[in-house]
A and B are shown apart, each in its own frame.
Chain A
């Protein structure tokens, strides 16, 4: 199995604190991490390799320091990494990101499975995975939380997808692109052996010049169909907390029930 995992470096927010006065994030010292959903994609790639053999490669499109995310993935055990970084790619929206990644994936050679996280926790769009699949004209299976069956000989995969109403079992022919949700596995920690390997590994940097097929008009900010015209703060929640305190649990519960009913939302 030849597996390609697409990862994104995002601001780490697990340790973020809120400023209680302004109710905004305290961002000092915020580090960058691999998008949490992509960690599951990496782990799933490694598990498929362990079962069926083959190679796991990671690719990331981002600013120069996204190399750290790639090194971290190598530390978990992936075989190869490619960094896509160029000022020509900067400002890509989800369309241009998918376009660029798809061209780079074509250049990486044959693949059976592409893995992505279901979405990145900064942009939250979930569109790059489907975008890559369309650009490559391969089947996409999104919101996967279990690979039920993988048969390399017949070239088929069966997965469970998580939807609003429940789960769905889908069978498809390889090659496929999967986007995975959190429950699919528990990502492993990096090992010393692989961390050392990551330190030595020379990760190739691909720029726009390495993608000769790319239409320059479709790259980066210029090639992005969407344009952000305004950034604002989300509306603040109105009113202050009405903290209910009475002499007994029953009274408090009754008072709370009355207040909720008075909101006329039930």
Chain B
């Protein structure tokens, strides 16, 4: 039995909810919305109804027994890899500072690792008031359990109201684990974070269904309110080296013999590019024609200091590795400039890049869907246009 309720007195049979339902769970029978078993209570239809005839039961019988008021402060997990801070962590410090100021509370950075004391200073310079610094050889490489157990014990002791992590592979790995143990809400891949002026709750906005809808999510009765945050959504703050903050040294929660996973090796391919952090991405699709065709793409990316992306078609054809794939089954990216070369723009690809600031499409088919979302486009042969564009940038940017 579906949870969604249709108020038969209010429903006017407009069909707006049918359009909005991503699951095909609604239909019109005798000019009345009818819900079937496909409904997962996702709520996508609620806003589409102009007469508020659709309801999901507010099945929240109890407030959490814990005293929510005991929780205070905004925390950020500082992701680092081989001693280098991830850009996403700095971006979160910027937004975290704003949230902390709105709530009139302190901003705390959690720095876990080995020999990463410099990151404690970095976190303060970018806005943290306090840093929990956990230095331990077992934290040198990220593995889930020692990181999660340390953060869980810190959260239990110091009770933050809000805890943010980057929506990176590690951030999502860690956040899911921590939230699960603490029995608290976690909103993945947020692209918006604000404080509700009425009740002080964190309003967490995220895309769902391949970016076709935006959902605003709250965590009313559990603490901390946890979210992972997408790359390049929030502005990078400016460092102030004169800022002062408190650094508190904390012991790791897990003994080395309790750790059951260890990193043996990291392989950073020379061609490997961090698409998530890239400001410019030049992507190739089926139109590139083969692995050699990606050389043309690479040259343009190089001159722009960008990364190389690809469509699923090119990956499936074996022309480039999966690590480069942008789209629903690849990575979601948000660069300032996305140049799509020989990519038709199937909906799955668009889901992974349509929030890029400026999109350029180069395609020989004038009807390719990629042109529907592009800011600039040229219809033509990419093997002529891309090298010509590379030459132009060479002249204009590096005269």
Q: Give every chain A residue within 8 A of B217 (Cβ-Cβ).
A: 226-229
Interface flag for B21 (CB, 8 Å)? yes
Interface flag for A133 (CB, 8 Å)? yes
A170 in contact with B263 (CB, 8 Å): yes
Stretch at the interface among A45-53, A85-93, A107-115, A197-205: A85-93
Q: Give every chain B residue within 8 A of A162 (Cβ-Cβ).
A: 169, 322-323
Q: Kindly identify, within residues 147 to 196 of chain A, every residue whose CB is under 8 Å from any CB belonging to chain B.
A: 158, 160-173, 181-183
Q: Give every chain B residue within 8 A of A258 (Cβ-Cβ).
A: 396
Q: Give every chain A residue within 8 A of B384 (Cβ-Cβ).
A: 249
Interface flag for B115 (CB, 8 Å)? no
Contact among A94, A125, A231, A249 for B46, CB-based, below 8 A: A231
B181 in contact with A260 (CB, 8 Å): no
Stretch at the interface among B32-40, B67-75, B90-98, B127-135: B32-40
Q: Kindly identify, within residues 202 to 257 of chain A, every residue whose CB is under 8 Å from any CB belonging to chain B.
A: 217-218, 220-222, 224-234, 237, 239, 241-245, 249-250, 252-254, 256-257
Interface flag for B377 (CB, 8 Å)? yes
Q: Give every chain A residue within 8 A of B173 (Cβ-Cβ).
A: 130, 140, 142-143
Interface range, B side: 35 or more
A222 in contact with B261 (CB, 8 Å): no
Interface flag for B293 (CB, 8 Å)? no
CA of A229 to CA of B221 in the docked complex: distance in angstroms? Answer: 14
Interface flag for B292 (CB, 8 Å)? no
Residue of B22, B144, B176 with highest tally of chain A CB at under 10 A: B176
Interface flag for B29 (CB, 8 Å)? no
CA of A91 to CA of B43 in the docked complex: distance in angstroms? Answer: 9
Task: Using known A-B contacts A63-B39, A124-B188, A226-B187, determine if residue A266 contacts B280 with beta carbons closer than 8 Å.
Answer: yes
A227 in contact with B210 (CB, 8 Å): no
A161 in contact with B176 (CB, 8 Å): no
Given A63-B39, A227-B218, 14 additional A-B pairs, CB 8 A: A18-B347, A87-B3, A90-B3, A91-B59, A124-B210, A127-B172, A162-B322, A169-B265, A222-B60, A226-B185, A234-B211, A237-B359, A253-B389, A265-B337
20 contacts between A and B (CB under 8 A): A13-B328, A93-B185, A123-B188, A130-B174, A134-B181, A135-B180, A164-B86, A164-B277, A165-B266, A168-B266, A169-B264, A173-B261, A221-B57, A227-B60, A229-B216, A232-B213, A250-B388, A252-B388, A256-B392, A266-B280
